[in-house]
């Protein structure tokens, strides 16, 4: 019996187009992906790296839900749908034969479709070089195993699980809707796992919740270097293996359970058995009613005789409106009376509730439950989920009458087509509105439950009406049109989902980003507490207006293709389209189209005429052109700014900034300066005057216009201008330049823009052009460079003794200690927070003016001014020997939860650093809230800015929570010394001075305030971050002396310095740093300080016995690999315990090729700690170790629970997890 | 009222010619449509019920062009399809109320009374709160009847309406229809020839999309007067009889085969004259197009 049914299934499938289409589609996508390298590969990673193939398999697994559900869901359902039950109930078919025949006959096709992925990938690796799309060097030689292994371990379990699930669900529930709801829940599982990957580091959830194993694979490959990605298969072991076993078992259990429970009677009979009993009762009543042909009225018969009452029918006046209402109502009832709807809702809502409840939690400290977080997280995490639900219910709603066969009645009822169609659209729009309101209702509920009462309704409503609802409505209109035109639910799903994913991929991956041509897309915007949607409101409204009108046109299309009556073939539908397209519909569609085009033209005018849009390719071409044409200007000497007087007018409400500046330039070079190459950056226009005369310039470079900007001039001049000075500036000479510039945003752009020019939250950076050729604008990708005939770009090596590097500051080539005098005006209700001391603040003509001065000793530019409607809190730090410093917090009035904490951090820091390194040079220190688009935290001369996102709304509930506000605030404050006083030069590793020392001091201050435990927590986090970098970084790491990456110059330096003070004593290190500070602070002339200068001072203060530590960290790249091999304990006298610990000590060096070399002859001091109940410290000593295994015997005063080598994570350990061991009592 | 169907034709994409220049004129009263499966009855009814496009020809209800002015036709129409489904999660009462609204019964008190009356007429009053998805075949059919009668339709089309009804229900339904037929056009399709003879003032026989006969049952029977003969023969002999006579129907009973033949003159040979009935009309017409083997 099995073979017949199996073969029947095969033959059936072979005759149907679906399997071929799916096979072809997945083959094609894989082929194109691997042939073009349209994959998330890193530089130097092969497209067909085994890890890439595994990742691809995981990703495709999600999309395989489409074919799996289509192929596995139908074989059983077909029999129900086509009412073949009578045959099966009467034929001698065995249950096993039927069940397994149908299952395997279909599953074979799912497996074949799955194999298309790897066939396509393999064909792509051949096709790429063959068609010349990608070079041979991107591929490694073919290993069959690289393809087979991920197929067997990743995709096959996925396919089996999904197939078993979908097949089983249909067998039990006897309908297909259950498939889509379960598919949505599977997708939700992936979303949860994905959310945890990005937000909460809980490996169990990340690994196990994703049925497709895509998230675990991303977790595994995340820190992999290209060499590892290329070199080895992703072995299925550990938690990944558990994931595979878990989901495969679930599949197997479902399948077996269904099989055991399966019976023909139940499956085909199902509800009808119940019906049968029911109708028997009916028949009895009927029989009592009377005999054939002698029925009289009212004798309890099935149909009562007699004519019907005449009723009045009305088809004019309010008919359409009333009927539209009743139809919409019944459509909604149809949706919400469905259990699956509530299952999906329950799944989605519980995840959403969890997401909202746990909130955004940097350093595991949750933020207050803010509306802005809720609403942004909703679209972020649920965008696709919502689309799938809407797609699903659109399919159901559009085809409900046909699928239930109620269409035969419904379609002969009086309402005109437009009423029937509109009712469907309305019901779906109601669904969309419901989904738009959900996050707000849930958010409010959670806010109330958490006792948080800043409901921020403007944030809710702006999100709701500007971002969420329009998007959902666009989705509905899209889904509706697709379903109607496709004419078939399954085809509609496939076409709709693939199109939507395609639209998303091309934009997200940057293949094509011109939003005007991507249905439903609008520039990114974040609705913030400070500024709501701000200036982005306008482009958002225009774009969504544009797409809603496009959606309207789609509705017209749908109404033309609207199916009524028996479904007819396509040519007949086309004939109907022609018939229907006339009269009011035609007029309406033309009006819609005209509106759509008009808005399109307006957007085009903004995006491509007032501004311009470049494709990625064009952008690259411009970079290449710039490099080819202007690179020869790179050696051009650049003058230094030595004094700055500036009057700035900020108009936040107009997104405009104008500057009038008097700049004193000095030639610090050894040659005369006669030519200046200036870079406009984001300045709209500027003029330069010397001695009252405007300086002429020429444009050394222009670019061909972008193809999307055909109304603009054929060529765009570049940002560069070339000025020739009338009298060359001789070495050591100075000159005064007068500059007038204007920064303004004209219209809006294709992308999110003006991030530093919000209505409430402006960042002003001086309005000065940049000087010299900017190699930061060069094309970086070496692959592409090769294609354009450019030499490979290597990160510039600026040696410590490089004369040019020593003469310039890291902060910029024109930067030096600059006395400033700044007058800045802003809107009357805003405050402008600037550098230096606030001399005066006044109102004039309804505008608010500020005068900031820092003459002695001046600042090291660049500086920043923040303007917003700030609330202020002030306090003063008094010193015994220096003048007091006024500390002002500038914050959004609603963000006042952590002011005390921030104030304390800044006061403590000012006190500590003034006392240890020298006074703070100005009377004012400002701590400001920067716009939501700004970096989380940054330091500027005279202040610190934390973005609206970061910290202001942290919700501290207990003393044990990591006070990251204190940590980051003190770190940023420390930059006032280690950047603003000792300014690092422009050589390699110099940023250890600014980043490393600041972070080290922040660690000290945290320890001082909160103790060792919080410090250890922070160090563990920093180490974890560094280890991630260490594993991921394919290029060599650098010793601190040559640190380049922020991970090296920041976190690693801080940890290393902390370890150093642990060895030599904090006071010694502080003395050393003070010495370094005093030698280099407030330099007016080169040379400036570099890492070697710091290192020399440190060397001086480190005794010989600890020199190894200094060399290991500053001159070499070194990791420990210590662990506790074994530990046993037994009670000794008087409550004390004897302890035997076996430790393994190991240290390795990495050379520049990232090869390992084990250390020999070690004599290193390493902590050994023993801990009792509740982590009570019983023993903690520095012991001197050589490499290898050591056995240590100890006597501790109390029952030990765990023992650890380097318990406080002072050393860089490759695998810190094995440093601690729980104790086993000696038997 | 008058429904005039003129040269209506329809060919399906798979090549099946469902309607072939069908022309009929119907007036108030019951009109029966007879024909074998696949004759085109349902296609014809669906076309009149605005559910299907015709390739050519026209249908007029008085002055109303049925094929063009579908919305207006739907306002006058009561249609019970041969096969139909329901929204499974809506109750019978709610659904009838809903359909009544769509049929223009907008006055809510009136509508409520109507729905109750219909529910009791089709004896679903006790099941009115039940979800339609739980209905048995017969209950569903009765629901279908109720919905077709909503809104005083002037044109009622019922496609094999008695399928799934027991004999008593069937009779009650026909009685109900006869009451309506007096000032309404009722088109009824059925396999049961007897139903047409007892109910319909006019009828037509359709086969392979063509109208083979159109008239009153009485006239049709009268036309065969004196031409029907019957005989009881051994079952094995049927082959020979088929060769010699126009056998229009056969009936096997206790090993004996009763055959009826159509002959202009008395055939003798043991045949006895028989009173013609509508079934004879039906078979004699159908036989001109397709072989009918009732054995």
In order, the DSSP letters of A140-168 are PPP-HHHHHHHIIIIIHHHHHHHHHHHHH
pTM above 0.90, yes or no: no
pLDDT (average), residues A949-969: 94
Place of tokens 């006339």: A582
pLDDT confidence band for A1034 (50 / 70 / 90): low
Of the candidates A380, A386, A29, the one whose C-alpha atom is nearest the C-alpha of residue A194 is A380
* pLDDT one-digit tens code per residue, A762-804: 999 999 999 999 888 899 888 889 889 999 888 778 888 888 8
Q: CB-based contact (8 Å) between A1025 and chain B?
A: no
| Structure token digits, residue A967 | 């940590």
pLDDT (average), residues A1209-1213: 89
Q: CB-based contact (8 Å) between A307 and chain B?
A: yes
Residue A688 neighbours by CB under 8 Å, 6+ apart: A694, A695, A697, A723, A737, A738, A739
Distance of CA A1092 to the CA centre of its chain: 38
Amino acid A283: pLDDT = 35
Q: What are phi and psi of A609, to 5 degrees?
A: -115, -55
Q: How far apart are the first and last CA of chain B?
A: 42
Amino acid A1035: pLDDT = 65
β-sheet bridge partners, residue A734 = A666
Q: CB-based contact (8 Å) between B103 and chain A?
A: yes
Q: Which residues of B touch A313 (CB under 8 A)?
A: 75, 103-106, 151-152
pLDDT confidence band for A294 (50 / 70 / 90): very low
Q: Please indicate whether, in this complex, the C-beta atoms of A315 and B75 are within 8 angstroms of each other.
A: yes
Give Rg (Cα) of chain B.
Answer: 21
* pLDDT one-digit tens code per residue, A239-249: 889 999 999 99
Concatenating the DSSP letter of every residue in A868-924 gives E--EEEEEEE--SSS--EEEEEEE-TT--TTHHHHHHHHHHHHHHHHHHH---SSSE
Place of tokens 């209700």: A829
Best of B56, B69, B171, B179 to substitute, by most chain A Cβ atoms within 10 angstroms, is B171
**Three-class SS of A736-786:** EEEEEEEEECCCCCCCCCCCCEECCEEEECCCCCEECCCHHHCCCCHHHHH
pLDDT (average), residues A591-614: 96
In percent, the amount of chain A with pLDDT more than 90 equals 61
Strands (E), A237-279: none
Q: In a 3-state reduction of DSSP, which class is residue A132?
A: coil
**Chain B: closest CA distance from residue A335 (Å):** 9
Number of helical H runs and strand E runs in chain B: 10, 14
| Structure token digits, residue B205 | 């026989």
Distance of CA B211 to the CA centre of its chain: 14
* CA–CA separation, A1019 and A1000 (whole Å): 10
Q: Flag whether pLDDT at A295 surpasses 60.
A: no
**Chain B: closest CA distance from residue A404 (Å):** 5
Q: CB-based contact (8 Å) between B112 and chain A?
A: no
Of the candidates A860, A922, A914, A862, the one whose C-alpha atom is nearest the C-alpha of residue A1086 is A860
* CA–CA separation, B170 and B178 (whole Å): 12
Amino acid B253: pLDDT = 80
**Chain B: closest CA distance from residue A336 (Å):** 10
| Residues, chain B | 295
* pLDDT one-digit tens code per residue, A139-178: 888 888 889 999 999 999 999 999 999 898 888 887 777 8
CA torsion through residues A169, A170, A173, A178, sign: positive
pLDDT (average), residues A294-299: 33
Best of A85, A86, A175, A313 to substitute, by most chain B Cβ atoms within 10 angstroms, is A313
Least confident of A134-138, A617-621, A883-887, A988-992: A134-138
| Residues, chain A | 1227
Q: CB-based contact (8 Å) between B244 and chain A?
A: no
Place of tokens 């029947």: A8
Distance of CA B249 to the CA centre of its chain: 21
Instruction: State how far the alpha carbon of A490 is from the alpha carbons of A11, A23, A344, A1203, in Å.
Output: 21, 16, 20, 61
Amino acid A175: pLDDT = 77
Amino acid A87: pLDDT = 66
Q: Please indicate whether, in this complex, the C-beta atoms of B85 and A406 are within 8 angstroms of each other.
A: yes
Amino acid A285: pLDDT = 35
Burial A993-1025 (b: 16+ CB within 10 A, else e): bbbbbbbbbbbbbbbebbeeebbebbbebbbee
Q: What are phi and psi of A645, to 5 degrees?
A: -120, 135
More confident residue, A1153 or A49: A49
- Among A302, A330, A566, the residue with its CB nearest the CB of B123 is A302
Instruction: State how far the alpha carbon of A1222 is from the alpha carbons of A750, A943, B136, in Å.
Output: 58, 47, 68
pLDDT confidence band for A113 (50 / 70 / 90): very high
More confident residue, A289 or A476: A476
Q: Please indicate whether, in this complex, the C-beta atoms of A311 and B165 are within 8 angstroms of each other.
A: no
Amino acid A278: pLDDT = 38
Tell me: cis bond preceding B248? Omega within 30 of 0 counts.
no
Q: Which residues of A touch B19 (CB under 8 A)?
A: none
Q: Please indicate whether, in this complex, the C-beta atoms of A566 and B102 are within 8 angstroms of each other.
A: no
Amino acid A178: pLDDT = 82
* DSSP 3-state percent helix, strand, coil across chain B (nearest 5): 35, 30, 35
pLDDT (average), residues A263-270: 69
Q: What angle do CA A93, A95, A99 make, to 5 degrees?
A: 110
Amino acid A798: pLDDT = 85
Q: Please indicate whether, in this complex, the C-beta atoms of B137 and A333 are within 8 angstroms of each other.
A: no
pLDDT (average), residues A812-822: 93
Of the candidates B134, B30, B142, B43, the one whose C-alpha atom is nearest the C-alpha of residue B91 is B134
A337-356 residues touching B, CB cutoff 8 A? 337-338
pLDDT (average), residues A420-440: 96
B199-228 residues touching A, CB cutoff 8 A? none
Amino acid A974: pLDDT = 97
Q: What angle do CA A891, A896, A898 make, to 5 degrees?
A: 105
Q: Flag whether pLDDT at A296 surpasses 80.
A: no
- Among B86, B89, B101, the residue with its CB nearest the CB of A326 is B101
Q: In a 3-state reduction of DSSP, which class is residue B91?
A: strand
* pLDDT one-digit tens code per residue, A573-599: 888 899 889 888 999 999 999 999 999
Q: Flag whether pLDDT at A600 surpasses 50.
A: yes
In percent, the amount of chain A with pLDDT more than 70 equals 95
Q: CB-based contact (8 Å) between B126 and chain A?
A: no
Neighbours of A395 (CB within 10 A): 25
Contact A617/A578 with Cβ under 8 angstroms? no
Amino acid A1033: pLDDT = 64
pLDDT (average), residues A84-107: 79
State which residue of chain B sits closest to A326, comparing Cα positions: B98
Least confident of A266-275, A479-488, A559-568, A819-828: A266-275
Residue A873 neighbours by CB under 8 Å, 6+ apart: A888, A889, A891, A896, A899, A903
Contact A1194/A1203 with Cβ under 8 angstroms? no
Q: Which residues of B touch A177 (CB under 8 A)?
A: none
* pLDDT one-digit tens code per residue, A1037-1087: 889 999 988 899 999 999 999 999 999 999 999 999 999 999 999 999 889
Of the candidates A384, A349, A395, A479, the one whose C-alpha atom is nearest the C-alpha of residue A176 is A395
* CA–CA separation, A899 and A892 (whole Å): 11
* Of A699-708, A898-907, A1016-1025, A1192-1201, highest mean pLDDT: A898-907
More confident residue, A524 or A299: A524
Distance of CA A764 to the CA centre of its chain: 27
β-sheet bridge partners, residue A735 = A665
B155 sits in which H/E element: strand B155-159
Instruction: State how far the alpha carbon of A978 is from the alpha carbons of A102, A241, A903, in Å.
Output: 73, 49, 20
Q: Which residues of B touch A306 (CB under 8 A)?
A: 121, 176, 179
pLDDT confidence band for A447 (50 / 70 / 90): very high
Q: Please indicate whether, in this complex, the C-beta atoms of A406 and B86 are within 8 angstroms of each other.
A: yes
Q: What is the ipTM, given to two decimal places?
A: 0.92
Amino acid A270: pLDDT = 53
A362, exposed or middle or buried, with CB in 10 Å at 0-12, 13-18, 19+?
middle
pLDDT (average), residues A994-1001: 97
Neighbours of A1155 (CB within 10 A): 10
Q: Please indicate whether, in this complex, the C-beta atoms of B110 and A322 are within 8 angstroms of each other.
A: no
Q: Please indicate whether, in this complex, the C-beta atoms of B145 and A303 are within 8 angstroms of each other.
A: yes
* CA–CA separation, A334 and A340 (whole Å): 11
Q: Please indicate whether, in this complex, the C-beta atoms of A301 and B123 are within 8 angstroms of each other.
A: yes
Q: Which residues of B touch A569 (CB under 8 A)?
A: 13
Backbone φ/ψ region at A984: left (φ over 0), alpha (ψ -120 to 50), beta = beta
What is the maximum span of chain B, computed from C-alpha positions, in angstroms? Answer: 70
More confident residue, A807 or A302: A807
Q: Which residues of B touch A572 (CB under 8 A)?
A: 53
B143-162 residues touching A, CB cutoff 8 A? 144-145, 147, 149, 151-152
Instruction: State how far the alpha carbon of A359 is from the alpha carbons of A204, A370, A452, in Å.
Output: 19, 8, 13
Amino acid A250: pLDDT = 92
Contact B206/B33 with Cβ under 8 angstroms? yes
Residue A984 neighbours by CB under 8 Å, 6+ apart: A809, A810, A990, A991, A993, A994, A1088, A1089, A1090
List of chain B residues with pLDDT < 50: none
State which residue of chain B sits closest to A279, comparing Cα positions: B136
Q: CB-based contact (8 Å) between B75 and chain A?
A: yes
**Three-class SS of A164-208:** HHHHHHHHHHCCCHHHHHHHHHHHHHHHHHHHHHHHCCCHHHHHH
Average pLDDT value for chain A:
89
Q: In a 3-state reduction of DSSP, which class is residue A652?
A: helix
Amino acid A38: pLDDT = 80
* pLDDT one-digit tens code per residue, A1120-1170: 999 999 899 888 888 899 999 999 999 999 887 778 899 989 999 999 999
Of the candidates A498, A729, A716, the one whose C-alpha atom is nearest the C-alpha of residue A618 is A716
Place of tokens 């909503």: B150
Instruction: State how far the alpha carbon of A1056 is from the alpha carbons of A672, A1014, A1026, A1114, in Å.
Output: 44, 18, 12, 9
Q: Please indicate whether, in this complex, the C-beta atoms of B136 and A282 are within 8 angstroms of each other.
A: yes
């Amino acid at each position: 019996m099995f073979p017949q049914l199996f073969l029947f299934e095969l033959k059936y499938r072979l005759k149907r187009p679906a399997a071929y289409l799916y096979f072809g589609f997945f083959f094609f996508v894989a082929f194109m992906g691997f042939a073009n390298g349209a994959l998330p590969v890193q530089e130097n990673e092969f497209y067909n790296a085994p890890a890439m193939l595994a990742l691809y398999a995981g990703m495709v697994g999600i999309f395989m839900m489409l074919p799996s559900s289509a192929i596995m869901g139908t074989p059983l359902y077909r029999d129900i749908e086509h009412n073949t039950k009578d045959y099966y109930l009467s034929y001698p078919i065995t249950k096993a034969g039927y069940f397994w025949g149908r299952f395997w006959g279909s599953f074979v096709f799912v497996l074949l479709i799955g194999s298309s992925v790897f066939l396509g990938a393999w064909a792509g690796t051949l096709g790429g070089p063959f068609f010349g799309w990608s070079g041979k060097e991107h591929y490694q030689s073919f290993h069959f195993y690289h393809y087979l292994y991920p197929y067997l371990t990743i995709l096959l379990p996925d396919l089996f699980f999904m197939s078993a699930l979908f097949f089983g669900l249909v067998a039990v529930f006897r309908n297909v809707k259950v498939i889509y709801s379960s598919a949505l829940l599977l997708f939700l599982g992936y979303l949860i796992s994905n959310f945890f990957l990005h937000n909460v580091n809980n490996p169990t959830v990340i690994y196990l919740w994703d049925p497709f194993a895509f998230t675990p694979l991303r977790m595994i490959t995340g820190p992999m270097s290209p060499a590892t990605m290329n070199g080895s298969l992703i072995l299925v072991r550990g938690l990944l293996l558990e994931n595979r076993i878990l989901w495969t078992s679930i599949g197997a259990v479902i399948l077996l359970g269904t099989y055991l429970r399966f019976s023909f009677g139940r499956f085909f009979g199902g509800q009808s058995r119940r019906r049968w009993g029911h109708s028997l009762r009916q028949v009895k009543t009927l029989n009592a009613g009377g005999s054939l042909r002698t029925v009289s009225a009212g004798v309890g018969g099935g149909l009562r005789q007699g004519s019907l009452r005449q009723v009045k029918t009305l088809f004019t006046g309010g008919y359409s409106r009333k009927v539209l209402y009743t139809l919409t109502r019944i459509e909604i009832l149809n949706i919400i009376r469905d259990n699956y709807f509530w299952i999906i809702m329950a799944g989605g809502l519980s995840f959403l509730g969890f997401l909202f409840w746990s909130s955004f939690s940097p350093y595991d400290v949750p933020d207050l439950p803010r509306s802005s977080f809720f609403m942004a997280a909703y679209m972020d995490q649920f965008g696709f989920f919502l689309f799938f639900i809407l797609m699903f219910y659109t399919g159901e709603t559009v085809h409900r009458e046909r699928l239930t066969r109620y269409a035969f009645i419904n379609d002969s009822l009086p309402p005109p087509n437009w009423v029937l169609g509109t009712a469907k659209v309305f019901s779906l729009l109601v669904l969309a509105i419901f989904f738009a309101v959900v996050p707000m209702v849930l958010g409010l509920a959670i806010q109330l439950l958490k006792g948080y009462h800043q409901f921020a309704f403007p944030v809710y409503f702006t999100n709701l009406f500007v971002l969420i609802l329009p998007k959902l409505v666009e989705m509905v209109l899209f889904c509706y049109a697709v379903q109607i035109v496709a004419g078939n639910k399954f085809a509609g799903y496939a076409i709709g989902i693939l199109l939507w994913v395609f639209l998303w991929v091309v934009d997200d991956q940057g293949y094509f980003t011109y939003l005007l041509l991507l249905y439903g897309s609008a520039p990114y915007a974040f609705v913030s507490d400070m500024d709501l949607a701000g200036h982005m409101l306008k482009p958002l409204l225009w774009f969504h207006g544009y797409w809603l009108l496009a959606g309207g046109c789609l509705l017209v299309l749908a109404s033309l293709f609207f199916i009524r009556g028996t479904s007819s073939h396509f040519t007949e539908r086309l004939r109907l389209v022609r018939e229907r397209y006339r009269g009011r519909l035609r007029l309406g569609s033309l009006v819609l189209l005209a509106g759509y085009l008009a808005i399109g033209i307006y957007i085009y005018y903004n995006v491509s005429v007032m501004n311009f849009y470049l494709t990625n390719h064009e952008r690259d071409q411009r970079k290449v052109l710039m490099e080819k044409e202007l690179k020869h200007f790179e050696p051009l000497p650049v003058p230094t700014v030595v004094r700055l007087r500036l009057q700035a007018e900020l108009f936040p409400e107009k997104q405009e900034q104008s500057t009038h500046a008097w700049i004193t330039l000095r030639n610090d070079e050894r040659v005369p300066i006669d030519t200046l190459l200036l870079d406009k950056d984001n300045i709209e226009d500027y003029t330069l005057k010397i001695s009252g005369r405007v300086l002429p310039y020429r444009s050394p470079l222009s670019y061909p216009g972008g193809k999307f900007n055909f109304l603009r001039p054929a060529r765009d001049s570049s940002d560069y201008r070339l000025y020739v000075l009338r009298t060359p500036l001789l070495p050591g000479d100075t000159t005064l330049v007068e500059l007038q510039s204007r920064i303004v945003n004209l219209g809006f752009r294709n992308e999110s823009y003006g991030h530093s020019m919000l209505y409430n939250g402006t960042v002003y950076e001086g309005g000065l052009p940049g000087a010299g050729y900017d190699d930061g604008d060069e094309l970086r990708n070496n692959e592409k460079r090769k294609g354009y005939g450019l030499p490979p770009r290597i990160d510039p090596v600026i040696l410590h003794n490089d004369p040019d590097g020593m003469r310039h500051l890291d902060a910029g080539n024109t930067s030096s200690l600059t006395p400033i005098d700044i007058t800045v005006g802003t809107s009357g209700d805003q405050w402008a927070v600037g550098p230096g001391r606030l001399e005066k603040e006044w109102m004039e003509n309804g505008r608010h003016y500020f005068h900031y001065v820092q003459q002695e000793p001046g600042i090291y530019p660049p500086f920043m001014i923040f303007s917003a409607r700030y609330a202020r809190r002030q306090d003063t730090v008094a010193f015994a020997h220096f003048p007091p410093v006024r500390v002002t917090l500038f914050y959004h009035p609603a963000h006042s939860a952590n002011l005390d904490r921030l104030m304390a951090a800044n006061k403590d820091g000012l006190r500590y650093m003034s006392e240890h390194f020298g006074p703070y040079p100005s009377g004012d220190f400002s701590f400001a809230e920067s716009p939501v688009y700004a970096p989380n935290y940054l330091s500027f001369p005279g202040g610190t800015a934390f973005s609206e996102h970061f910290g202001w709304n942290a919700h501290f509930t207990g003393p044990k929570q990591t006070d990251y506000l204190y940590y980051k605030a003190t770190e940023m404050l420390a930059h006032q010394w280690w950047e603003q006083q000792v300014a690092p030069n422009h050589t390699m590793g110099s940023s250890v001075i600014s980043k490393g020392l600041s972070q080290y001091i922040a660690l000290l201050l945290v320890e001082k305030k909160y103790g060792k435990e919080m410090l250890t927590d922070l160090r563990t986090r920093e180490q974890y971050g560094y280890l991630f970098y260490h594993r991921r970084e394919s290029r060599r790491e650098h010793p601190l002396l040559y640190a380049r990456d922020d991970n090296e110059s920041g976190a690693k330096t801080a940890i290393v310095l902390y370890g150093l003070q642990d060895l030599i004593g904090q006071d010694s290190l502080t003395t050393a740093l003070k010495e370094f500070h005093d030698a280099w602070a407030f330099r007016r002339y080169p040379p400036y300080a570099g890492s070697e200068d710091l290192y020399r001072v440190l060397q001086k203060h480190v005794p010989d016995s600890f020199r190894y530590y200094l060399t290991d960290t500053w001159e070499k790249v070194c990791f420990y690999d210590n662990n506790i091999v074994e530990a046993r304990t037994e009670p000794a006298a008087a409550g004390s315990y004897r302890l035997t610990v076996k430790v393994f000590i190991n240290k390795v060096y990495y050379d520049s090729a990232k090869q390992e070399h084990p250390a020999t002859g070690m004599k290193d001091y390493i902590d050994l700690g023993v801990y009792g109940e509740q982590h009570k410290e019983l023993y903690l000593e520095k012991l001197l170790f050589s490499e290898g295994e050591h056995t240590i015997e100890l006597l501790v005063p109390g029952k030990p629970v765990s023992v650890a080598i380097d318990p406080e994570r002072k050393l860089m350990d490759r695998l810190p997890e094995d440093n601690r061991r729980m104790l086993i009592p000696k038997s | 009222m008058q429904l005039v169907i003129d040269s209506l034709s329809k060919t399906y994409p798979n090549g099946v010619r469902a309607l072939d220049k069908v022309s009929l004129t119907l007036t108030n009263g019951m009109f029966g449509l007879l024909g074998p499966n696949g004759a085109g009855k349902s296609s014809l009814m669906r076309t009149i019920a605005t559910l299907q496009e015709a390739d050519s020809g026209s249908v007029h209800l008085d002055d109303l062009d049925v094929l063009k002015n579908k919305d207006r036709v739907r306002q006058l129409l009561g249609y019970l399809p041969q096969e139909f489904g329901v929204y499974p999660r809506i109750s019978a009462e709610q659904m009838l109320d809903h359909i009544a609204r769509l049929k223009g019964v907008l006055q809510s008190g009136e509508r409520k009374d109507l729905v109750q009356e219909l529910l009791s007429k089709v004896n679903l009053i006790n099941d009115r709160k039940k979800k339609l998805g739980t209905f048995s075949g017969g209950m569903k059919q009765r629901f279908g009847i109720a919905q077709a009668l909503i809104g005083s339709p002037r044109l009622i089309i019922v496609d094999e309406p008695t399928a799934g009804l027991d004999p008593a229900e069937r009779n009650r339904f026909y009685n109900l229809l006869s009451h309506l037929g007096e000032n309404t056009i009722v088109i009824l399709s059925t396999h049961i020839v007897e139903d047409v003879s007892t109910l319909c003032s006019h009828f037509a026989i359709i086969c392979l999309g063509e109208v083979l006969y159109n008239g009153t049952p009485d006239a049709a029977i009268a036309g065969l007067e004196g031409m029907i003969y019957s005989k009881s023969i051994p079952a094995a002999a049927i082959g020979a009889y088929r060769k010699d006579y126009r056998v229009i129907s056969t009936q096997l009973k206790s090993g004996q085969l009763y055959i009826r033949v159509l002959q202009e003159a008395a055939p003798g040979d043991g045949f006895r004259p028989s009173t013609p009935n509508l079934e004879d009309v039906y078979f004699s017409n159908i036989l001109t197009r397709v072989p009918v083997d009732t054995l």
